[in-house]
Chains A and B, each alone.
Chain A
Amino acid sequence: MIDALGSVGSLLLVGGTSDIAVATAHRYLRERPLRVVVAARDTPRRSAVAEELRAAGGRVEVVDFDADDPGSPARAVAEAAAGGDIDVAVVAFGQLGDAEQLRTDAAAAAHLAQVNYVAAVAVGTELAGRMRTQGHGEIVALSSVAGERVRKANYVYGSTKAGMDAFYSGLGDSLAGSGVSVLVVRPGFVRSKMTEGMPDAPLATTPEAVAEAIVAGVRGGRHTIWVPGAMRWVMSGLRHTPRAIFRRLPF
């Protein structure tokens, strides 16, 4: 149970090897020991993350999760819930893709949509069902500002995040009064393994800053947050920029 002061007893990381997921677990573990379920593909990186979180004081369990496998969301959520209630689930998996290739490779574009949108919808539906039954819980969905106004430079990625963001926002509204809530997180450019080698965008942030914002957002009962916070006003401006101008912007 999330207690009266917002402290968390159990955390599920779907896409548990993502930098933001790991940073969020560390941020919670800094407050008190808790149960952490790492759902990810069975890779050396998963073992390393599990070890790292154990060393930080977590009671760590691992379960298999593969966004390419349609049966995986149901299995992963059921396995995670078998060990007890899930207080907070962070949906952190996703890929950026190669924007150049995605422009022409239909299979690659469909695959990115499968991972970033279709699998995210399945995971959200499974989590919501489980949490409705347990009567409490918080789903944290890692969206992106890229989905808020889709740019020509990475429109395939942006569109998957737009869909995912819309799904989780609507899911959150549908859960009002059920004891379950959803926090949609919209980071700007995050320096992480996903963006390795790319030049910093303005207002670039870090996984640790996103983790900090997630913990504060859950504690404060927020529904949507931007990281950094100033990104909210930037995006608000961009959302209302006429298309004729927007498509000429240099990004």
Chain B
Amino acid sequence: MADPRTAEEVLLTGWGRTAPTPARLVAVHGPEDAAAVLAARTPRGVVARGLARSYNDAAQNAGGHVLDMTAADRVLDVDLAAGEVEVEAGISLDRLMNLFVPMGLFVPVTPGTRYVTVGGAVAADIHGKNHHVAGTFSEHVAWLDLLTADGEVRRVGPDRDPELFWATAGGMGLTGVILRARIRMKPVESSRIVVDTDRTPDLDSLMSLMAGTDHLYDYSVAWIDCVARGARMGRSVLTRGRFARRDELAPEQQADPLRYSGRVRLSAPGVFPPGLLNPATVAAFNEVWYRKSPRRKRDQLQTIGAFFHPLDGVGSWNRVYGPRGFVQYQFVVPDGREEAMRRALERISRSGHASFLAVLKRFGEGNPGMLSFPLPGWTLALDIPVVSGLAALLDELDELVVGAGGRVYLAKDPRVRPEVLEQMYPRLGAFRDVRRRVDPEGVFTSDLARRLSL
């Protein structure tokens, strides 16, 4: 390992490519390396970084150390009968799928990209299309090994030091370095998903369809056209599915039902002109996308990549938003506050800030994670390129969200006001108590932590 004291400073950003800051980035190959960096730390502290798919500054630490965890990606143990795998935290979901889908095990939860690490999945307590039935990623972790500020490695889980476990799940890397985890995988008979598609003309019909029948599916997500206004506001395409049984596959597929290949097909060019995505081009794109989707389709077989990770087919798609970067605004409002979702969507489409499709998803129960994002209700996520006037618009949306008892997602938000965040996360005080217990000097810190006084 390179000497952490002399490691070169590099400018780091998150996936949104905003607010770069320099840090000493050190590749970590195992627990000893992580401990060595901890020992060589400066007053600016340390934070772990995985594949940097957090949209914001969660994996940045201005002036301090950042641990590049992606080299520590070994599989340590596999129990096929129990469906459990023990891995180093730097392993990606992509690698887990490549290794284990052919053995009939799928990751318990996957976000819209498979290029996230297990450590990052726990730290952000990620969710996927199956949240309404399966909860978050951390709910499928039997235990994890956490390197804490005192240099100790602690094994924590829902049944051992649950307080530290639930501070770490969703804790954005601020309780320590996640080194290893044991994960309960999802048994599958095939690598295909049986998909039903429904096109809905507006938000109300979409929400009632989801509320009424989402429980019949393992996976569900809706893509909304944010540009359409008036009666067509919220027109959308809802896709829902479940893994196919072997006998549901075409005869030629049944011979090799777990065949899986995840590959990036093309990459976005390095330089996109600013303003490529403007209200006119986005409206045109959304129109084509809505029209080409089937009004209603049943039992269509799709691959894992096509169903779960359509954007992974285009490497570095985040460059499309041009040199100023973009913000992904994702919020949740509780069940019963659907009117807040409608008002937020109205406000967004009225603002004219171009956004590709927004994603609407229904959440199931929350978990004890102190900074875990999901709560029972509705979540909307949308990309907005950085333009002037955006700060005020998002502050306004925050007020709406807080007023409805909702919150924004810490893995994505790069601009919420600290005092508004406190209202969104009522268990932030408990989280701070745990941090004071295991890291009284605040060794683990990040740009996100400083910006929001976590």
Contacts and interface: CB of A to CB of B under 8 A. Distances in A.
Q: For B327, B394, B451, which residue has the most chain A Cβ atoms within 10 angstroms? A: B451
Interface in B319-333: 325, 327
Interface string B140-155: 0000000000000000
Interface stretch (B12-20, B205-213, B265-273): B12-20
A3 B395 contact: no
Given A3-B19, A9-B451, A177-B11, A134 B62 contact: yes
**Quick one: which of A1, A133, A177 has the most chain B CB within 10 A?**
A1
Looking at A5, A6, A32, A179, the one whose CB has the most chain B CB atoms below 10 A away is A5
A1 B63 contact: no
Interface string A1-20: 11111110100000000000
A3 to B, nearest CB: 4
Interface residues on B, range: 20 to 34
B418 interface: yes
Interface string B42-66: 0010000000000011000111100
Contacts of B390: 5
A4 B417 contact: no
B62 A1 contact: yes
A20 to B, nearest CB: 22
Contacts of B64: 135
A7 B19 contact: no
Contacts of B23: 135
A178 interface: yes
A85 interface: yes
Contact of A4 (B63, B327, B388, B419): B327
Nearest to B393: A5
Contacts of B18: 4-5
B415 A3 contact: yes
Contact of B44 (A3, A33, A135, A177): A135
A31 interface: yes
B312 to A, nearest CB: 24
Given A1-B450, A133-B63, A177-B11, A7 B415 contact: yes
B7 to A, nearest CB: 14
Contacts of A179: 11, 20-22, 62-63
B395 A177 contact: no
Nearest to B388: A219
Contact of B418 (A9, A85, A133): A9
A136 interface: yes
A31 B391 contact: yes
A133 B44 contact: yes
Contact of A85 (B22, B327, B450): B450
B19 A4 contact: yes
Contacts of A6: 391
A132 B16 CA distance: 24
Contacts of B450: 1, 84-85
A179 B394 CA distance: 25
B16 A4 contact: yes
A85 B16 CA distance: 23
Nearest to B64: A135
A134 B153 CA distance: 28
B447 interface: yes
B135 to A, nearest CB: 29
Given A33-B417, A177-B22, A5 B57 contact: no
B321 to A, nearest CB: 12
Contacts of A1: 19, 21, 57, 62, 447, 450-451
Contacts of B75: none
B386 interface: yes
Given A1-B451, A135-B62, A32 B417 contact: yes
Contacts of A134: 44, 62-63
A178 B22 CA distance: 6
B157 interface: no
B170 interface: no
B108 interface: no
Nearest to A132: B63
Nearest to A9: B451
Contacts of A2: 19
Contacts of B388: 219
Given A179-B11, A179-B63, A7 B391 contact: yes
Contacts of A84: 450
Interface string A166-177: 000000000001
A209 B48 CA distance: 43
Contacts of A7: 391, 415, 417
Contacts of B417: 7, 32-33
Interface string B419-454: 100000000000000000000000000010011000
A136 B44 CA distance: 12
A134 B60 CA distance: 12
Contacts of B21: 1, 135-136, 179
Contact of B386 (A4, A133, A135): A4
Contacts of B327: 4-5
Nearest to B43: A133
Given A1-B451, A9-B451, 13 more contacts: A3-B414, A4-B18, A4-B57, A4-B327, A4-B414, A5-B18, A5-B390, A5-B414, A7-B391, A32-B395, A135-B23, A135-B64, A179-B62
22 contacts: A3-B414, A3-B451, A4-B57, A4-B386, A5-B18, A5-B390, A7-B415, A9-B451, A32-B395, A84-B450, A85-B450, A133-B44, A135-B21, A135-B44, A135-B62, A136-B62, A136-B447, A177-B22, A178-B9, A179-B22, A179-B63, A219-B388
